[in-house]
């Protein structure tokens, strides 16, 4: 059995309502197929289908047109029977900040279930008796007890069969071009575009009035279907001309205003009561209720993205929703505070808000620029921006705006304070606090010129600036005049006079003195600053074309300063050329992603906010997708770092600190954080590749060095005379050689091989150190053995030569001295008894002398001989042994 509770349960839950509206609910239950006439009639009379199933549906209407619709259906059903039951009950319509909607009704009504009676019947809630009877031709009668309905006292709708009950929902559609009617470019652009519109109107058979003088076209739309058809046609025409790049396109503002109380006369556009200069171009403006009714075919967007409560009579815009854009479409949802969005008033020069004069601007109480605000904002989730603005609205007293907002900004680094400071930081170059830095700057280029600041020097000017900030204008005037007398060629008094006349409301004098200040300035930084102030003055006065030219001039003086480019785009939005401004904004975002947050919180972009938020959504989705892949890459890099480097490696801690920072950026849902993540991940990847290349190069260099060391060890150990004693030495030596060969043959770019190579290098160094410590003992034994062999060899040769000399000399001496007597030595030699003893003694003396000479000779030739032997051995090994390292 159909139950209304199923329909209500299928609706989304609205946790925080953006809109709450009381109206009427129509519960329709049918058997079989629903007649299209019922659905079309309810829709034509302004009823919105909020929930539907196969045999029941729930509709909402905010006006008494619902009674006329059901009366018309009742009359029609007498001729064309249909099996449907309708119940009209009080219903509350709820809309969330994402424009999702739901309904709320009395608890007793949600438990109803009913079957169709067989004929078309309309049951009315007892509380709606007066509303029904207020419609001509409608009465009610007691319906008695109805099975499945809550309580008693239900009424049955009775319609006069002789009345037509035609809907009163009709509209006047007005199209007005952007630009001044006297401007040549606007005249030509509107003339070409209006020809396409008139052709469209003629094709649809619509009567229209074209006011050439005012540059406006308007015409009646007498049905909901006609409203839907024309919105589709005009938006398709605009899209086609834009995509074709033809000159026939010109930006226009469009509105479908209800016909109630309005006459189809040439004065109609003036009687609608809209501020045409604040409307978003190229999107039809309709009331919220029409927007929800048309949301099946169009995308609906708020005109004001504020936190202020809206109603079904508030305005919204429509955009095409077709097969090319229905997937993945969205809009950035940041609700600006209602205390900062004023429909009326003149913009403050300093901050752009319309709820105070320049003399009362809160920015005058801020001591210096705070660009770090944007870095703090980049660490905040975008979803929390609206929450911060909500808190700001709750804490700010609109009657004492300046005092309350200054107190809020000074309350700490909470979200409300941060959002308030961000709004006032957008135009900080045009505020008095920037003038202080310009006076003290020593550099020539913007940004870098403020890195070195001179002391606050000069008589009168600083006191005069304090007086202007404190609104002591007479005292400030006296000090400025004294400064002019003392410094007649200085730009500083003229800069102060510009601000002094600004707060007096004399803009012509303000412009004159800032022009003089620019002329007298010394550096491009100072000239760019005063050119910026002149352009800003034109902007707040509404001379937007002159302002754009002024900002372009500022940018030519200081090309590295991005703020003038941002102001150019803002001026284009204020003129209504939002589509053209988007390209400038996107270029700025590419150069500095903080401008994304600028656009989200800037109240001065109110006119084109719908289109801008839609465009930023595309950037956001693109950045979000890239950030997701980068977050995965960061995890891969973390894994790669742990695989490649040991925790003791010097790069390990540095890399993990950077990766932790990138992970934190990835967890922050902010465009700037995403861009920092993307750029940081790419930069870290490049840094890691460079580090790996350096490490591989270091490994290769170490390997060459260790190879040379191992070769030296081999050379030294090759001469060891007792190879069987080198088992442990050879085992350690072979380990080193095997690891060296493994490193040389492996692709070190792979993480596992890279880490193992680093570990092997350390192990090889340890083994080589161990081998070299062992080599000391081996070298002593080897050198000692070699020295003894050389000593023995030299001794034998010397001994043999000495003995040979002695063998020849001694007999000759005996022979030739045998006749000589009286010589003691000769007598001993010639004495046969002592001759043998003398011979033995001479041999002993000869041996001692030979040993001494052999030792001296071996010591003198030891190193040379050892080197010759090692070279010979190395040559033989190279020729015969296979290369292992």
DSSP string of 496-565, one letter each residue: HHHHHHHHHT-HHHHHHHHHHHHHH--SHHHHHHHHHHHHHHHHHHT-HHHHHHHHHHHHHH-TT--HHH
Q: For 597-630, what is each residue's pLDDT tens digit? A: 999 999 998 888 878 888 888 899 999 999 999 9
Task: Report if residue 272 sits inside a domain.
Answer: yes
- What integer best gives the mean pLDDT of the chain? 85
Query: Range with the lowest mean pLDDT among 229-238, 722-731, 779-788?
Result: 722-731
Task: Report if residue 752 sits inside a domain.
Answer: yes
Q: For 398-422, what is each residue's pLDDT tens digit? A: 788 888 998 888 887 789 999 999 9
Report d(CA 510, CA 491) in Å as an integer: 14
Distance of CA 216 to the CA centre of its chain: 41
231 φ, ψ to 5°? -60, -40
Domain stop point among 159, 187, 202: 159
CA distances from 439 to 369, 462, 525, 526, 562 (A): 14, 10, 10, 8, 20
pLDDT at site 246 = 61
Task: Report if residue 187 sits inside a domain.
Answer: yes
pLDDT at site 792 = 87
Is residue 31 located within the same domain as residue 155? yes
pLDDT at site 239 = 86
pLDDT at site 613 = 84
How many helices (H) and strands (E) are present in the chain, helices listed first? 30, 15
Q: Is pLDDT of 594 > 90?
A: yes
Domain stop point among 98, 127, 159: 159
Query: Range with the lowest mean pLDDT among 118-122, 343-347, 485-489, 642-646?
Result: 343-347
Is residue 740 located within the same domain as residue 865? yes
Q: Which residue has the tokens 């993480």?
A: 751
Is residue 302 located within the same domain as residue 449? no
718: pLDDT confidence band, cut at 50, 70 and 90? low
Task: Report if residue 660 sits inside a domain.
Answer: no
Is residue 111 located within the same domain as residue 240? no
Is residue 402 located within the same domain as residue 443? no
Report d(CA 232, CA 369) in Å as an integer: 48
Domain stop point among 301, 329, 357: 329
Q: Is pLDDT of 820 > 70?
A: no
Is residue 200 located within the same domain as residue 325? yes
Grouping H, G, I as helix, E, B as strand and the rest as coil, residue 177 is strand
Name 31's Cβ contacts closer than 8 Å, sequence gap at least 6: 55, 83, 84, 115, 116
Is residue 256 located within the same domain as residue 307? yes
- CATH code of 508's domain: 1.25.40
Query: Range with the lowest mean pLDDT among 321-325, 592-596, 627-631?
Result: 321-325
Q: Are 537 and 507 in contact (CB under 8 A)?
A: yes
Q: Is pLDDT of 725 > 90?
A: no
Q: For 437-457, what is each residue's pLDDT tens digit? A: 999 988 888 888 888 888 888
Q: For 170-197, what is each residue's pLDDT tens digit? A: 999 999 988 776 677 778 888 888 888 9
Tokens representing residue 731 in the block:
């085992």
Q: Is pLDDT of 26 > 90?
A: yes
Closest CA to 420 of 497, 483, 478, 366: 366
Task: Report if residue 657 sits inside a domain.
Answer: no
Q: Is pLDDT of 848 > 80?
A: yes
Q: Is pLDDT of 709 > 90?
A: no
pTM: 0.75
Task: Report if residue 590 sits inside a domain.
Answer: no
Mean pLDDT in residue range 149-176: 88
Mean pLDDT in residue range 536-545: 92
pLDDT at site 88 = 94
Task: Report if residue 692 sits inside a domain.
Answer: no
pLDDT at site 327 = 36
Q: Is pLDDT of 648 > 60?
A: yes
pLDDT at site 884 = 47
Report d(CA 505, CA 511) in Å as an integer: 11
Query: Range with the lowest mean pLDDT among 186-195, 302-311, 449-458, 666-675?
Result: 302-311
Q: For 354-409, what is each residue's pLDDT tens digit? A: 888 899 999 998 988 899 999 999 999 998 888 888 888 888 887 888 889 988 88
Report d(CA 93, CA 102) in Å as an integer: 6
Task: Report if residue 678 sits inside a domain.
Answer: no
Distance of CA 142 to the CA centre of its chain: 64
Task: Please list the residues that pair with 161 across neighbouring strands.
Answer: none
Mean pLDDT in residue range 789-800: 86
Other C-beta atoms lying within 10 Å of the C-beta of residue 775: 18
Is residue 139 located within the same domain as residue 213? no
Report d(CA 614, CA 101) in Å as an integer: 20
Over the Cα atoms of the chain, what is R_g? 49
326: pLDDT confidence band, cut at 50, 70 and 90? very low
67: pLDDT confidence band, cut at 50, 70 and 90? very high
- CATH code of 32's domain: 3.30.70.1230
Domains identified in the chain, total number = 5
Closest CA to 172 of 217, 220, 207: 220
Is residue 99 located within the same domain as residue 236? no
Domain span at 238: 171-329
Report d(CA 736, CA 738) in Å as an integer: 5
Is residue 233 located within the same domain as residue 320? yes
pLDDT at site 305 = 53
Is residue 368 located within the same domain as residue 503? no
pLDDT at site 721 = 61
Is residue 398 located within the same domain as residue 526? no
Report d(CA 518, CA 534) in Å as an integer: 10
pLDDT at site 270 = 83
């Amino acid at each position: 059995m159909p139950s209304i509770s199923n329909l209500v349960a299928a609706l989304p839950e609205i946790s925080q309502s953006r809109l709450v509206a009381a109206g009427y609910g129509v519960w329709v239950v049918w058997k079989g197929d629903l007649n299209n006439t019922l659905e079309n009639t309810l829709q034509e009379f302004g009823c919105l289908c909020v929930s539907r199933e196969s045999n029941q549906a729930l509709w909402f209407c905010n006006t008494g047109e619902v009674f006329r619709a059901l009366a018309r259906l009742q009359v029609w059903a007498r001729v064309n029977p249909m099996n449907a039951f309708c119940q009209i009950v009080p219903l509350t319509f709820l809309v969330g900040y994402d424009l999702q909607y739901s309904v709320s009704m009395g608890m007793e009504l949600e438990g109803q279930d009913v079957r169709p009676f067989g004929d078309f019947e309309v049951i009315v809630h007892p509380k709606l008796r007066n509303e029904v009877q207020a419609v001509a031709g409608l009465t009610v009668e007691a319906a008695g007890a109805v099975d499945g309905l809550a309580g008693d006292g239900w009424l049955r709708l009775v319609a006069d069969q002789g009345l037509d009950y035609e809907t009163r929902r009709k509209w006047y559609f007005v199209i007005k071009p952007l630009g001044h009617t006297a401007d040549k470019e606007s005249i030509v652009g509107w003339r070409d575009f209006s020809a396409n519109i008139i052709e469209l109107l003629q094709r649809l058979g619509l009567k229209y009035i074209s006011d050439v003088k005012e540059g406006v076209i308007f015409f009646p739309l007498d049905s909901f279907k006609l409203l839907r058809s024309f919105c589709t046609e005009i938006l398709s025409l605009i899209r086609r001309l834009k995509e074709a790049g033809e000159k026939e396109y010109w930006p226009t503002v469009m509105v479908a205003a209800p016909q109630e109380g309005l006459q189809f006369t040439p004065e109609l556009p003036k009687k609608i009561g809209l501020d045409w200069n604040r409307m978003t171009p190229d999107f039809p403006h309709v009331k919220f209720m029409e927007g929800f009714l048309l949301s099946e075919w169009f995308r609906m967007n708020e005109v004001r993205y504020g936190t202020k409560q809206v109603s079904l009579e508030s305005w919204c815009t429509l955009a095409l929703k077709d097969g090319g854009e229905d997937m993945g479409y969205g809009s950035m949802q940041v609700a600006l505070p209602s205390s900062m969005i004023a429909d009326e008033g003149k913009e403050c020069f300093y901050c752009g808000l319309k709820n105070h004069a320049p003399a009362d601007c809160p920015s005058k109480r801020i001591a210096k620029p705070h660009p770090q605000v944007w870095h703090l904002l980049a660490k905040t989730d975008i979803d929390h921006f609206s929450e911060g603005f909500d808190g700001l609205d709750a804490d700010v007293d609109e009657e004492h705006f300046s005092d309350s907002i200054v107190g809020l900004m000074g309350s700490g680094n909470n979200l409300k304070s941060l959002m308030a400071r961000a709004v006032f930081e957008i135009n900080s170059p045009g505020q008095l606090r920037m003038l202080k830095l310009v006076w003290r700057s020593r550099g020539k280029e913007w940004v870098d010129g403020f890195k070195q600041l001179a002391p606050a020097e000069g008589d009168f000017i600083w006191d005069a600036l304090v007086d202007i900030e404190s609104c002591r204008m007479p005292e400030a005037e006296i000090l400025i005049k004294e400064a002019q007398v003392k410094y007649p060629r200085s730009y500083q008094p003229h800069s102060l006079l510009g601000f002094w006349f600004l707060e007096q409301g004399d803009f012509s004098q303000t412009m004159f003195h800032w022009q003089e200040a620019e002329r007298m300035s010394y550096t491009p930084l100072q000239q760019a600053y005063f050119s910026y102030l002149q352009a800003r003055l034109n902007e707040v006065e509404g001379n937007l074309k002159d302002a754009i030219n002024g900002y372009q001039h500022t940018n030519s003086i200081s090309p590295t300063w991005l703020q003038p480019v941002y102001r150019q785009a803002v001026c284009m939005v204020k003129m209504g050329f939002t589509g053209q401004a988007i390209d400038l904004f996107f270029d700025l975002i590419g150069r500095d992603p903080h401008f994304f947050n600028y656009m989200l919180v800037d109240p001065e972009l109110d006119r084109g906010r719908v289109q801008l938020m839609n465009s930023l959504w595309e950037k956001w989705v693109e950045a979000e997708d890239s950030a997701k892949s980068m977050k995965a890459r960061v995890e891969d890099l973390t894994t790669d770092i742990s695989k490649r480097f040991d925790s003791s490696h010097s790069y390990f801690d540095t890399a993990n600190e950077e990766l932790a920072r990138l992970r934190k950026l990835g967890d922050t849902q902010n465009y700037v954080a995403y861009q920092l993540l993307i750029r940081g991940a790419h930069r870290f990847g490049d840094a890691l590749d460079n580090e790996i290349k350096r490490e591989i190069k270091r490994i290769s260099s170490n390997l060459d060095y260790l190879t040379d060391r191992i070769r030296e060890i081999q050379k030294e150990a090759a001469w060891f005379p007792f190879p069987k004693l080198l088992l442990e030495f050879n085992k350690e030596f072979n380990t080193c050689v095997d690891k060296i060969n493994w490193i040389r043959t492996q692709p070190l770019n792979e993480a596992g091989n890279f880490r193992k190579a680093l570990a092997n290098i350390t192990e090889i160094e340890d083994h080589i150190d161990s081998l070299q410590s062992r080599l000391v003992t081996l070298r002593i034994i080897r050198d000692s053995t070699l020295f003894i062999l050389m000593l023995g060899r030299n001794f034998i040769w010397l001994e043999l030569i000495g003995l040979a000399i002695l063998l020849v000399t001694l007999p000759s001496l005996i022979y030739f001295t045998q006749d000589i007597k009286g010589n003691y030595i000769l007598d001993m030699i010639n004495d046969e008894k002592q001759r043998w003893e003398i011979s033995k003694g001479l041999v002993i003396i000869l041996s001692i002398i030979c040993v001494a000479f052999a030792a001296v000779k071996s010591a003198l030739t030891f190193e040379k001989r050892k080197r010759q032997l090692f070279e010979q051995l190395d040559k033989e090994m190279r020729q015969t042994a296979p290369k292992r390292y």
